[in-house]
């Protein structure tokens, strides 16, 4: 059986390796991005390029979007020369961006009226997870469509979960981003306190990683943080965007999120200081400034 043609829109830090995995798995791709470099790279590997989301949709059975924020996805899906103008009855739109749950529901309704079936399928795992095809993928939408698209998801990730109806994938991603943000803030506070009290931050990481405080953030980013390595696996400005979505979603459902609200303010300070393109663990620089103490062994200038 011939694999369906997939359109892939959004070839950034995560979209580019994800599209590459699909090509390697034998899928034909039609790709689009504002940056010509990843487009050229994928064309050299056998993909076709398109000039608009409408053109991508017209040439594809399945359209995947991997874009920064809700307005970007809504414009690509529903705007002028958007997916909705080129899609046909029976097409599938899978949005793997992290956006507001309400936007996911809105797009599913609008595209559904044109006969396009939709899944919201945000991911966790950052750049490393995308490069290693080891993403965690949380999917909202009809369960039968999820089952049909599962082979595609399995090319991209190791953990693929159907979370419920339209928007449920984005709700679970919001929950994920709460936990990650709080883990980052907790690790950074612990390092700053311990280091200012005179303990080697490498020792702190070693000890905490062997007990109940152990977490994935510490395992992956802790050694980099204490070396002052903030090359982004996931940029701070994107996590701040996610926290904005989380607080809005909390308001929509009348759920108080006091700890998330505090961490949101810390991320706002990081962005105000020019740290938006740092890895989200760059949050430690805000806490160091507050404590008037650098908790890192080496700071890259």
CA–CA distances in Å: residue 101 to residues 122, 173, 279: 11, 9, 25
- Is-contact 226 297, C-beta < 8 A? yes
- Which of 259, 285, 261 has the alpha carbon at shortest distance from 271? 285
Separation between Cα atoms, residue 111 and residue 129, nearest integer Å: 29
CB count within 10 Å of CB 258 equals 7
- Which of 137, 156, 138, 147 has the alpha carbon at shortest distance from 117? 147
CB count within 10 Å of CB 155 equals 16
Question: Alpha helix locations (H) across the chain?
Answer: 15-24, 36-44, 53-59, 70-78, 83-86, 101-112, 126-131, 143-156, 168-196, 201-208, 216-225, 236-252, 258-272, 284-291
Q: Which two tokens stand for residue 32?
A: 């689009």
Between the two ends of the chain, the Cα-to-Cα distance in Å is 54
Which residues fall within 8 angstroms of residue 210, CB to CB, at 6 or more apart? none
Catalytic residue among 34, 88, 114, 173: 173
Q: Within the chain, what is the greatest distance between any pair of CA atoms?
A: 65
- Active-site residue flag, 173: yes
Residue 139, beta-bridge partner list? 162
- Which of 150, 128, 131 has the alpha carbon at shortest distance from 139? 150
- Is-contact 59 91, C-beta < 8 A? no
Query: Which residues are identified as catalytic?
Result: 173
């Amino acid at each position: 059986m011939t694999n369906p043609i997939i359109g892939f829109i959004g070839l950034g830090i995560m979209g580019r390796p994800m599209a590459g995995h699909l090509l390697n798995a034998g899928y034909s791709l039609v790709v689009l991005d504002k940056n010509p470099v990843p487009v050229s790279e994928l064309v050299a590997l056998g993909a076709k390029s398109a000039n608009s989301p409408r053109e991508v949709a017209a040439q594809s059975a399945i359209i995947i979007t991997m874009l920064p924020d809700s307005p970007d996805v809504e414009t690509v899906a529903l705007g002028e020369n958007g997916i909705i103008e080129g899609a046909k009855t029976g097409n599938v739109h899978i949005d793997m961006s992290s956006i507001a749950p309400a936007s996911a529901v809105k797009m599913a309704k609008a595209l559904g009226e044109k006969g396009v079936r939709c899944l919201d399928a945000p991911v966790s795992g950052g750049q490393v997870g995308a490069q290693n095809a080891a993403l965690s993928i949380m999917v909202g939408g009809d369960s039968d469509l999820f089952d049909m698209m599962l082979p595609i998801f399995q090319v991209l990730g190791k953990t693929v979960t159907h979370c419920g109806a339209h928007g449920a994938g984005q709700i679970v991603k919001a929950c994920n981003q709460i936990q990650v943000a709080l883990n980052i803030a907790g690790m950074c506070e612990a390092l700053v306190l311990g280091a200012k009290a005179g303990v080697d931050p490498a020792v702190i990481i070693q000890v905490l990683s062997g007990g109940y405080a152990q977490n994935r953030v510490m395992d992956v980013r802790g050694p980099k943080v204490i070396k002052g390595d903030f090359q982004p696996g996931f940029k701070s400005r994107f996590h701040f965007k996610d926290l904005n979505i989380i607080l809005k979603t909390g308001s929509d459902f009348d759920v108080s999120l006091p700890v998330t609200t505090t961490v949101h303010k810390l991320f706002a300070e990081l962005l105000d200081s020019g740290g938006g393109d740092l890895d989200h663990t760059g949050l430690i620089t805000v806490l160091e400034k507050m404590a008037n103490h650098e908790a890192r062994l080496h700071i890259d200038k």
